[in-house]
Amino acid sequence: MMLATAFPVPVLFLAVISGIFCLPIFALSMVNFGLLSIWLNAFVAVVIAVHHIVLGTLIWSSRKRTQSSKAIIDDEESSPLRAVEDLEPPTVYSVTNIVFLIVLVILNALAFSVMVDITTRGGANSTLPAERVGHKWNLKIQIGQSAMLGAELLVLSAILTLCTLGRQRFTSEVDRRKGELEY
């Protein structure tokens, strides 16, 4: 097994889809004008988009850094054991990214459950302004927000699963290489 330092293609694909899903979530939360919609859904959409942008920037900068450092190899100071001990997981598989993805999944699940509750209970029992209650398009917007948040939750869960599995593969490969060097 080879230790990958690049951005895994399935995670990249899912992150792009997740970023695209953030746009309608944000737009629908602004159209609906419910207090929970504006503050919770817009916040979740913006935080998810910022996470993906920051992660993409970190991946891009680390890829440039690793490509420039591949040319410099000093055989006298480097040993195989030291090289294995100094290995760091790719940014996608870092503990910080996985913890942040867990927080994003929890926030998105919270927003999704609130929107499903508002959608099923109706506008009269929700935090929507009184002038919006009873309009049919309002319910359609609620259903659209709920559907987009549900789809976003599935995509974020898939990203979290792929990153966690990648982290496990990385640590098992490092442990295997350490075991080979000890013999």
Q: Note the pLDDT of residue 68.
A: 52
Q: Note the pLDDT of residue 164.
A: 94
The radius of gyration of the chain's CA atoms, rounded to the nearest angstrom, is 22
User: Interhelix angle for 95-121 vs 42-69, to 10°?
Assistant: 160
Q: Would you give the end-to-end CA distance of the chain in angstroms?
A: 19
Q: CA 89, CA 92: separation in Å to the nearest integer?
A: 8
Residue type, position 64, single letter: K
Whether the model pTM is above 0.85: no
Contact 22, 108 (CB under 8 A): no
Q: CA 22, CA 44: separation in Å to the nearest integer?
A: 8
Q: How many CB atoms lie within 10 A of CB 147?
A: 17
Q: Note the pLDDT of residue 2.
A: 45
Q: Note the pLDDT of residue 181.
A: 77
Structure tokens at 97: 């990214």
Burial class from Cβ neighbours inside 10 Å (0-12, 13-18, 19+) for residue 40 reads buried
Q: CA 181, CA 84: separation in Å to the nearest integer?
A: 9
Tens digit of pLDDT at every position of the chain (183 positions): 444 445 678 888 999 999 999 999 998 888 765 666 678 889 999 999 999 999 888 888 877 666 554 444 444 454 454 455 667 788 888 999 999 999 999 999 999 988 888 788 766 665 555 554 444 556 788 888 899 999 999 999 999 999 999 999 988 888 888 887 776
